Amino acid sequence: MTKLDTLLAEVRACRACAGVLPLGPRPVLQVSATARVLIAGQAPGTKVHASGVPFADASGARLREWMGVSADAFYDASKFAILPMGFCYPGRLDGGGDAPPRTECAPLWRDRLLAFMPDLRLTLLVGSYAQVHALGRGKMTERVRDFQGHLPSMFSLPHPSWRSRHWATQNPWFDAEVLPELRRAIRSALT
């Protein structure tokens, strides 16, 4: 067993938020020592919690379409790592929508896992939680529009939830200008 396997086993046994997670702990992530692209997402929804497969839902289908990669490529851990800001389904907000990622998670695990991924070249900051963690406070739309400001190491994206369809309609430059560059940045990180 490698040191990364040992750490992963520790993550999978984590119960730090057991008292507050409505469906209990089930960390969902994908890592390997050779990954080149890190997908830094938000937190699993109920479908992902049920399957244990990251982005195995409509958001994942949209994200793969944005990235221009097949499901087979996306789930190739030797190329793509997937670390949401919170690894377990956090529940719902009283007013609707999923609760934010658990804040216990990143300080416990994130840097320790990243230390085992020395070949990462590009991090996709998928949604505002990942962006605030990496870049500090700021407006998501402005960050996505200014995607070139953090290349070649980081690329800001909206979260690909159903809401992003409406957002993309309001911001047509995203499809026209940002997505071709996103695909180019991923190709470059993988070669």
Would you state the structure tokens that stand for residue 130, as one six-digit string? 């990942």
Total number of residues binding ligand SF4 (CB under 6 A)?
14
Pick out residues in 80-109 that bind ligand SF4 (CB under 6 A): 86-88, 102, 104-105, 108
Report d(CA 64, CA 69) in Å as an integer: 5
How many other C-beta atoms are found inside a 10 Å radius of the C-beta of residue 60? 22
C-beta of 39: minimal distance to ligand SF4 in Å? Answer: 17
Residue 27 or residue 127: which is nearer to ligand SF4 going by CB?
27
Q: Say which residues have a Cβ less than 8 Å from residue 151's Cβ, sequence separation at least 6.
A: 185
Regarding 7 and contact with ligand SF4 (CB under 6 A), the answer is no
Pick out residues in 22-41 that bind ligand SF4 (CB under 6 A): 25, 27
Out of 4, 16, 33, 135, which residue is the one contacting ligand SF4 (CB under 6 A)?
A: 16
| Stretch touching ligand SF4 by CB under 6 A, among 8-16, 66-74, 128-136, 166-174 | 8-16
Measured torsion, CA atoms of residues 174, 176, 180, 183, in degrees rounded to the nearest 10? 40
Would you state the structure tokens that stand for residue 183, as one six-digit string? 């695909």
Cα angle vertex 45, ends 97, 159, to 5°? 70
C-beta of 164: minimal distance to ligand SF4 in Å? Answer: 23
Would you state the structure tokens that stand for residue 148, as one six-digit string? 């070139």
Residue 10 or residue 146: which is nearer to ligand SF4 going by CB?
10
Residues that bind ligand SF4 (CB under 6 A): 11, 14-17, 25, 27, 86-88, 102, 104-105, 108
